[in-house]
Structure 1
Amino acid sequence: MLTKRIIPCLDVKNGRTVKGINFKGLRDAGDPVMLAKKYAEDGADELVFLDISATEERRKTLIEMVLKVAEEINIPFTVGGGISSVEDVDMLLQNGADKISMNSSIIKNPTLIDKVSNKYGNQCVVAAIDAKQINKKWQVFSSGGNIPTELNLFDWAQEAEQRGAGEILFTSMDHDGTKNGYANEALSELNDLLTIPVIASGGAGNIQHFSDAFKIGNADAALAASIFHFGEIEIQTLKKELQLQQIPIRYENKL
């Protein structure tokens, strides 16, 4: 059985880590390079870096900061934000990224998934999907959750897999920052439909929420931000408790 992964997420804007609720009301959470180093040392399995305003501001991801983060960590590193071409992917991989997360760009141009996957392999491609429930249906949004699309979460996730995505990073906009738990029913449905790993994102507030994402949502990994950034849960404490709950997790006692 594959071990479940714990993934801190650095949402970066103007060179600082930020966090809000339902994608709004962002507040400062610290220096991304220092946080990345701390999480790697604390036992995080992977790290995700999202330049959350790159698409909206029509600029490229902060290459220099990606390189600085990569130099401080020794765990798999996923980078997203403003990636709209194979050339963008080339640059990020050359500067320390291990995987590429794409969201708005693949909604506009789905063939980008095919192109990146064909060049680098599907293990490099993370299809990030932001969605929320409208009239009991999961609708996909682009541009940092600002623009509604006609896409359905489950249909789009299946197309992304068929085109060559190696993972789905699903963020429930309804749950984001609320600390009320992950969207476990949607996660479970995604898991049933897909053969690639699904990363749960949006809603972590306590250790039980992680457990539920793995046991009820059948997620392969759980991503969280504010509870780690503001010291509400330590990664080692979380992993130890998950291990006690018989959840397969990579845990080395560093407490």
Structure 2
Amino acid sequence: MLAKRIVPCLDVDHGRVKKGVNFVDLTDVGDPTEIAAAYEAQGADELVFLDITATNEKRSAMVDTIRKVASQVFMPLTVGGGIKTVDDMQALLKAGADKVSLNSSAVREPELITAGAEKFGSQCMVVAIDTRWQADQNRFQVVVNGGREPVDLDAVEWAKTAVAKGAGELLVTSMDKDGTKSGFDLKLYQTLTAAVDVPIIASGGCGALDDFVDLFQDTTVDAALAASVFHFGELTIADVKQRLREAEVTVR
């Protein structure tokens, strides 16, 4: 069995790490370079770096900030936010990213996934999917523009399309759970892992050590992403990995 990954996330807004609840009410929690280095020292397996306002403000991700982070961090780095072209991807990869994450731009132009995969390889292409439960349609609905704009798209069907277009990994965030610390949306990840055969990073909702155990015991996702519990020191990555080992979940 492949070892499960623990992946902290830096949500960055104009060069500062921010955290909110259900994608709003953002609070400044620090400098991205300092926080990234601290996570690496704790034993993080990877780092996801999301420029959370780039798409909504119609600007590209901050290459200079990414370059600074990459100069201090030697674990794999995934970067997303405001990526609209293959040139944007290339700039981020040259700045030190190992993978790029597409979200809103992929929904609007799925061929962008294919173009990136053909140039850089599917292993570089992460499609991020923000979703929330849509009860009247009995489905998980896709939401874009940093959680601001729902679209008429089923998240499971979109996941299948993204993989067919060349995505090598999916980063799936439950907006219903984001920042709530009430546990991961297990139904969402059970549904997705049955539908696609690429690695899935689960995001949104962890608040306790056993939330990670439940995720890996009850679903077949490959990685768990967390932000606020690590940012505010409520849990450490070492604590999470120790609890997972106790539960006989394979970690690095």
| TM bucket, shorter chain | over 0.9
Q: Structure 2: how far apart are the matches of 1:42 and 1:104? A: 32
Displacement of 1:244 in angstroms is: 1.1
- Give 1:175's aligned residue: 177
The answer to whether the 8 Å contact 2:213/2:243 transfers is: no
Give the one of 220, 229, 232 matched to 2:231: 229
What are the residue-to-residue correspondences of 1:1-255 with 2, within 5 Å? 1-135=1-135, 136-250=138-252
Shift of 1:216: 1.0
Q: Is 1:185–1:216's contact at 8 Å kept on the other side of the alignment?
A: no
Residue 253 of structure 1 corresponds to none
3-state SS in 1 of match to 2:3: coil
- Contact 1:16/1:29, CA 8 A, preserved across alignment: yes
**What letter matches 2:56 in structure 1?**
E
Q: Gapped runs of 5+ residues in structure 1?
A: 251-255
In structure 2, C-alpha distance between the alignment counterparts of 1:161 and 1:6, rounded to whole Å: 22
| Aligned-pair CA distance for 1:212 | 1.1
CA shift for structure 1 position 24: 1.1
Query: Cα RMSD (Å) of the superposition?
Result: 0.7
**4+ runs deviating over 2 angstroms:** none
Q: How many Å separate the matches in 1 of 2:112 and 2:171? A: 17
Distance 2:189 2:53 in 1: 26
How many corresponding residue pairs?
A: 250
Q: CA deviation at 1:29?
A: 1.1
| 1:128 to partner: Cα distance | 0.1
State the distance in 2 between where 1:228 and 1:12 align: 15
CA offsets 1:35-90 (integer angstroms, 9 cap, x no match):
00000111000000000000000101011000000011110000000000000001
1:171-218 CA-to-partner distances (Å, cap 9, x unmatched) read 000000000011111101111111100110000101111111111122
Q: Name the CA distance, whole Å, in 2 between partners of 1:44 and 1:184.
A: 23
> 2:101 corresponds to which letter in structure 1?
S
Contact 1:186 1:217 (8 Å CA) reproduced: no
Displacement of 1:27 after TM fit?
0.8
Q: Tell me if the contact between 2:11 and 2:49 (Cα under 8 Å) persists in the aligned partners.
A: yes
Q: Structure 2 length normalisation: TM-score?
A: 0.98
Partner Cα separation in structure 2 for residue 204 and residue 37 of structure 1: 22
Structure 1 length normalisation: TM-score? 0.97
User: 1-side partners of 2:173 and 2:63: how far apart?
Assistant: 24
